Structure formats: structure tokens, C-alpha cells
Amino acid sequence: MQLLTLKNNKVRYDMGINKTGHLIHLYYGDPIEELPEEYIESHMDEINPDSQLHEMSAFGLGDYRSPSYQIRLDNGTVVTDFIYKSHRYIEEKPGLEGLPSLYLNDNSEGKTLEVELEDSYSGVIMKLSYTLFTNIPVIARHVKVVNKGSMKVHCEKLLSGIVDLPRADYDVIQLSGGWSREKKPYRRPIMPGKIHLDSKRGLSSHAQTPMLTLVEKHTTETNGRAYGFNLVYSGNFVTEVEVDAFDRTRIMMGINDFHFNWNLEPGSSLTSPEWVMVYSNEGIGQMSRTFHDLYRKNLLRGKFKEELRPILVNNWEATYFNFNHDKIMAIAREAKDMGIEMMVLDDGWFGHRDSDNSSLGDWFVDKRKLPDGITKLADDIHGLGLKFGLWFEPEMISRDSELYKKHPEWAIHVPHREPGDHPFQRWQMVLDMTNTEVRDYLVRVVGDMLIEGKVDYVKWDMNRSQSDIGSQTLAPEAQGEFFHRYILGLYDLLERITSQHPDVLFESCASGGGRFDPGMLYYMPQTWTSDDTDAIERLTIQEGTSMAYPAISMGAHVSCSPNHQVGRVTSLEVRGHVAMAGNYGYEVDLTKFTPEEKALAIKQVSFYKSVRELVQKGDQYRLLSYTAGGCGAWMYVSKDGSKALVTHVRSLAKPYAPYGRLLLGGLESDAMYEITLMENQEPGQSFKAFGEFLMVLGLEVTNKFGDFLSQQWTITKL
């Protein structure tokens, strides 16, 4: 009997090798000093595979829960039996071939346990890797299968890992929704049977997210245990939560095994995406703050990793496809007046794209709209002292395009079938990222345009789910590899483009947050959170997104009122307050602002600059859940504890209004603070109080007449 333990001062994870050589899961949670012998023995000696806690589990050996992998052998059977061979601890974290993953800035930040198992009949090896980060409750893990045998095998399922917990009295929080309704948190109890969340769309999707939180029944934002699971992957994923007949809970996440069949020739291998597990015994909020710090420090890369992000204006909701050089310059001049730092030209500047049914793939300038070309526009915008950003949707091809005339075979489609026109999917087809020619083409044409357009920022969009699944470059027996190969191809493309243009800030987008996942954040350090820019809808979307992703990565813009997605009328003030929870900007025709609106926008921009570091690099506290009640509230505290920003938004007013108090978090009990209510984006009334008071009795919130009211306070430690 041998124990393999990962332990630091925040978390502990144990597995053991039992008498039959199987890898048994023992413990995951608080960093307790010791596991009692009796506990270890009873789990290690468990003889029923169906109630055993496993580190990985196959079908066909007596465990009737969902397996974490399935390998079909040349005799057609799917029974494999992986037995412990060796393990080692290394003082580093190797990267994952072709896949994004967390990295260590230096080797003191973590250590890795690698365990090797073998199925003796097939000769297939399974390598399980677990990196424990130093002093933080984070374990990142993945699995690699290597065919060291002489027969060709087929991997039909390979999830990134299992967590088998010996209890079932938990709730899960999933983040689900749809287009413009991304990542709404849903909390529900787990029960005997299975929860199965997945994407079959070719992208991680709006509908589901590869992020799941498992919590104890009494866990809240500020108290109790929470296990956060997030997959570093941007394609089809699956999350399985299963409660079995013995009240054990199994959680698994990984590449969706639906339409997945990977050929493993002798000598070849397959690596699963990385699975990030964050533990907290101080509530859900602490779990999120650990994710935020981790992603800021060990996931985001490049020049912009640490840089405060520019405040931008984007012309999409201002003009849609109907713009020209002068119109963009008029918006840019207003932006400059208001202190905004970047002008982004969205969709419609290329080919002959006057609506969304043409020209994707034709990444050359539409001279009707920009007669002097993109360089002139960039020069004029730069001349104002603004940065210049440009929209692309490189993974797509319109049937009405020069590119489609030349290369119809580059579009994903089923051989010998006319590709369907799916008008609801924007009259466009998806380019086949498994094809190296396609990727080379995109690296060249997008790269050329970045240079020609002197582009400082790219919005990299992706606006449809995949259908008509078929690749011309894959052999018939490899079509089951398509979805994963698409993502591997995409990652290769992103790595090449972003490393060849290190001075460009990239923001990813998939009709808003359809691919807001850590896989994309590894290449592009910010994401457009949602196409829904309504301040009240955004309360839910941003709350859910903040479960794992830091504000610096979360694009949030002020748009016009009535809002274009829901028709809601809200004040410019509330729109500003909500957008200031993230990476701030405007998505509105600034030339149409009234003088009063312009005056307020100038103050908003200058105020956001003063709190930008606090928001983008500070600690976030979710104070009130809009999803749970009618008010949303959150707070950012600077890392040195000297400053904080508190925002409260009330949706609908009540008659004979009750008094509400907002309890704060993250302050020092015995420190004295000055609290200033912002009025019209300028400092208003202020008072002094100890941190203890602010966290126990808090701030009085508005009970004024009227819907959609917000308040903002700045807090300074004295």
C-alpha cells in the first residue's frame, strides 16, 4: 500500500495504490495533517469497484458509474485495466503539447506529481499529471495516453480527470444560458443519478460553460467549502456529476466524448486538456479570488498580461455596417474629447460587407466605405492620440466571398453533401482549422492587415456553432477526430498570430461570451463578455463570469438607451457603474450624446482611470447576487488594502421602500476608512468608519423612487 500525497498549507489531495495495483482516490479538501489509518485502509481494501473511489475509471471492470476514458482495442472490446507502474515528483510544470495550460513563472510556484499506469494486454500507457501550486489551493491536472503497444487502438473517451468524493450532500453551481444570456449561475442539489452538461457546437458555447462549482449545502459567498472546476479548453466539452448507489459523488470534465474517436497508432499519443481545480474553505467568493489571481498570474501571457487595459469605443452598436471614414473619425474625435484611449472599428470594413451575409474571408479593405484605405484611417486615429483597433472573424467564410470562389473545399462540410445554408447561423460557414493551408493563409492575410492597418488591438470574433461536420483533409476513419483537431488547429493559429504580433492587444469574442474560457484567455488576455450590453442583464452575466474570470479579462461597455438587446431604458449613470465592473468602454454613437451626457461620460472616463488598477488588479467581493434577489452589488479592494470601490444596483423599486444595508467585505476590522458616496460621478458626502462596522452593518443603500438606480462609493484607508 502506497500513498501519493499533494499537500500545501491550503489544500490536500491523496491517492493510493492498492493491493491489485489500482490507483484509488482517498481525499481532496482541507489541508488536514493526517488521514487516519482506518480511513485509508477501508478505502484501499474496498473490494467492490462500484463503490471504490477511483483516480481514473474504466467501463467493464465492475464500476458502473460513467468511466473517465474508453479505449477500443483491435479485437473490438473496450475493457482495459490500467495498473500502477511508477511515479515521480518534479519541481516544475511541463507544458501540454499544442494545448494552452497554466504555467509557472518560476519553478518555486509549484511541483508536479506524474503517475504512470499501464494496460498490460494492449501496452497502452496512461500518464496522470498533477501540479500543486505553492501556497494556494490549486491543482492543475491532465492525462496523456501513449500507445506503446503494437496494435492500433481507438480512444473513444478521454476526460481530464475524476474527483470521487465519499459524500453526496452537495449542491452544484453551473453557469448556463444562451446568446446574450451567458453564464447565469444556477445552484441545485445533486441527487442520485447524473448531471450532464456539454457542448457539441465546436466551441465551449453560450449555453454551457466548462466551469462547475461544487459546494456544501451551507456554503455561501463568505463561508463554507467550495470546489471549483474549470477546463482549459475552447471546444466541445463535457461535465459529468454522478451520485451513485453508495452516495459517492463523481465529478469529471474533459473533451466531449460525443462524436469523438481518436486513432492511436503504435507510438502515438493523445493529451487531454488541463483541468484546473480550485479549493476554498472560505466560501465561493474566496474560490473566485483564487481563480482571478491564478489566471492573472499563471494563465494570461505577453505584453498585456500586467498592463492596464485601454478604455475603448467600439462602433458596432453605433453604426452597425453603415459607416465611412468620416463617421468613424467623428466618433473618434468625440472619444478623444472624453478621454477615451482607443477607437475600434468593428464588422463591415472589408470585402463588400453591408450586412452579415457576405465577405468573411476577404480580409481586404472596402474602398467604398474607406476610400483612402485602412492605413489612412489608422493614421488619422493615431493622429488624434488614440490607439486603433480592428475586428476580424478569421475562422469564417461567407459563401458570397472571393475566398469561397477560390477555395470552397476550405469550408467545413460533409463530403458529397451540399453544405446547408443555415440563415439562423448568419449565412456563413466555418473554415477548416484542421487544414494547415487554411491556417497558413490566415496567418498571412490577417498578419498583413495588422501591419497595413497599424493595428494596436484586434477583436477576434467567431459567430457561429459548427454544423455539417466534415473535413476534406481528414481520412474517413479520422472524422471522429475533427472537433478536437479543429481546436488544436485554432490554438496553433492563435499561437502563431499572437506571437508574431506581440504588440497587438487581442480580445476574443464569440457572439459575445460564446467562447469565454481559459483556453482562449491563454492566447488573448481579454474577452467580450456578452453581446447583451443592457446594464440590468449584465448584472447576471458579469456575476456568473466573475465566478472564474478576473475583471481585467472581462469586456464591459456602456451602450445606448433604449438598449438594443432588450429595449430597456436606463440612465447613463447606471450603465457606467455596471460597465466599470470590468474592462471599460463604450459601444455607442458618441456624436449623439447630449451635452449633459457628454459631460457625464467625461467624468466616467476620468473616474474609471482613477479606479482602473483597483478593478483590474484588485480583489473582487460579490456582495449581493442579482441572480438571487433584485439588487446586485460588488466591491473591489486594492491588493495593498488602501482603496476600495463599492457598487450597488437596484433593479425595481418597491413602494413604502424598506431600508437596505449593504455589508462590505475584504476590509481590515480595526482600520479606519473614509467612505465617499459618488454623486454624478463626483465625490459627494463622506464619513468615517472602522472596517468592522462596514462589514457588520455596512452602508445604507438607496430607497429612492424609480427603477434601475445605482450607487457607487469609494473607500480610502486612513
Give me the active site residues, please. Answer: 461, 531
How many CB atoms sit inside 10 A of residue 32's CB? 11
Question: The C-alpha cell of 463 is what?
Answer: 459567430
For the four alpha carbons of 684, 690, 693 and 694, in that order, the dihedral sign comes to positive
Looking up cell 491517492 gives 15
Which listed range, 97-105, 118-126, 447-455, 509-517, lies at the site for ligand GLA (CB under 6 A)?
A: 509-517
CB of 73 to ligand GLA, least distance (A): 45
Gap between the Cα atoms of 679 and 695, Å rounded = 23
Gap between the Cα atoms of 484 and 500, Å rounded = 24
- Check residue 316 for interaction with ligand GLA (CB under 6 A): yes
- Check residue 512 for interaction with ligand GLA (CB under 6 A): yes
Question: The C-alpha cell of 150 is what?
Answer: 503494437
Cβ closest to ligand GLA, residue 525 vs residue 555: 555
Residue 148: closest CA among 124, 128, 121, 115: 124
Which listed range, 404-412, 469-477, 504-512, 592-600, lies at the site for ligand GLA (CB under 6 A)?
A: 504-512
Phi, psi of 42 (to 5 degrees): -65, -35
Residue 717: closest CA among 643, 653, 632, 620: 643
Cβ closest to ligand GLA, residue 159 vs residue 558: 558
DSSP, residue by residue, 85-132: EEEEEESS---BTTB-----SSGGGEEEEEEEEEETTTTEEEEEEEEE
CB of 372 to ligand GLA, least distance (A): 23
- Check residue 391 for interaction with ligand GLA (CB under 6 A): yes
CB of 449 to ligand GLA, least distance (A): 16
Instruction: Using CB under 6 A, pick the residue from 347, 366, 395, 573 that binds ligand GLA.
Output: 347
Asked if the peptide bond before residue 189 counts as cis, ω within 30 degrees of 0, the response is no
- Whether the CB-CB separation of 11 and 139 falls below 8 Å is answered with yes
- Whether the CB-CB separation of 158 and 69 falls below 8 Å is answered with yes
CB of 512 to ligand GLA, least distance (A): 5
Cβ closest to ligand GLA, residue 365 vs residue 509: 509
CB of 346 to ligand GLA, least distance (A): 5
Task: For residue 224, give the DSSP letter.
Answer: B
Ranked by CB distance to ligand GLA, the top (closest) residue is 347
Instruction: Using CB under 6 A, pick the residue from 63, 362, 531, 573 that binds ligand GLA.
Output: 531
- Check residue 16 for interaction with ligand GLA (CB under 6 A): no
CB of 548 to ligand GLA, least distance (A): 20
Looking up cell 492596464 gives 308
Question: The C-alpha cell of 279 is what?
Answer: 479549493
Gap between the Cα atoms of 651 and 709, Å rounded = 7
Gap between the Cα atoms of 99 and 226, Å rounded = 27
Amino acid (1-letter code) at residue 185: P
- Check residue 511 for interaction with ligand GLA (CB under 6 A): yes
How many CB atoms sit inside 10 A of residue 503's CB? 10
Residue 528: closest CA among 584, 568, 447: 584
Question: The C-alpha cell of 416 is what?
Answer: 458529397
Phi, psi of 644 (to 5 degrees): -150, 155
Residue 579: closest CA among 549, 613, 610, 541: 541
- Check residue 528 for interaction with ligand GLA (CB under 6 A): yes
CB of 522 to ligand GLA, least distance (A): 20
Q: Which residues contact 144 (CB under 8 A, 6 or more apart)?
A: 126, 127, 129, 269, 270, 271, 272
Which listed range, 45-53, 206-214, 475-483, 506-514, lies at the site for ligand GLA (CB under 6 A)?
A: 506-514
Cβ closest to ligand GLA, residue 279 vs residue 349: 349
CB of 427 to ligand GLA, least distance (A): 12
CB of 555 to ligand GLA, least distance (A): 9
Element (DSSP H or E) covering residue 506: strand 505-508
Q: Write down the H helix ranges in 563-690.
A: 572-579, 595-617
- Check residue 616 for interaction with ligand GLA (CB under 6 A): no
Amino acid (1-letter code) at residue 416: H
Cβ closest to ligand GLA, residue 221 vs residue 347: 347
Instruction: Using CB under 6 A, pick the residue from 312, 509, 580, 581 that binds ligand GLA.
Output: 509
Residue 288: closest CA among 179, 215, 196: 215
Cβ closest to ligand GLA, residue 316 vs residue 549: 316
Report the side by side order of strands in the sheet with 23-29.
2-7, 12-17, 23-29
CB of 514 to ligand GLA, least distance (A): 8
CB of 356 to ligand GLA, least distance (A): 6
Gap between the Cα atoms of 256 and 272, Å rounded = 11
Cβ closest to ligand GLA, residue 462 vs residue 600: 462
Per-position x/- string for 460-489, each x denoting binding to ligand GLA as judged by CB under 6 A, each - no binding: -x-x--------------------------
Binding site for ligand GLA (CB under 6 A): 316, 346-347, 356, 391, 461, 463, 509, 511-512, 528, 531
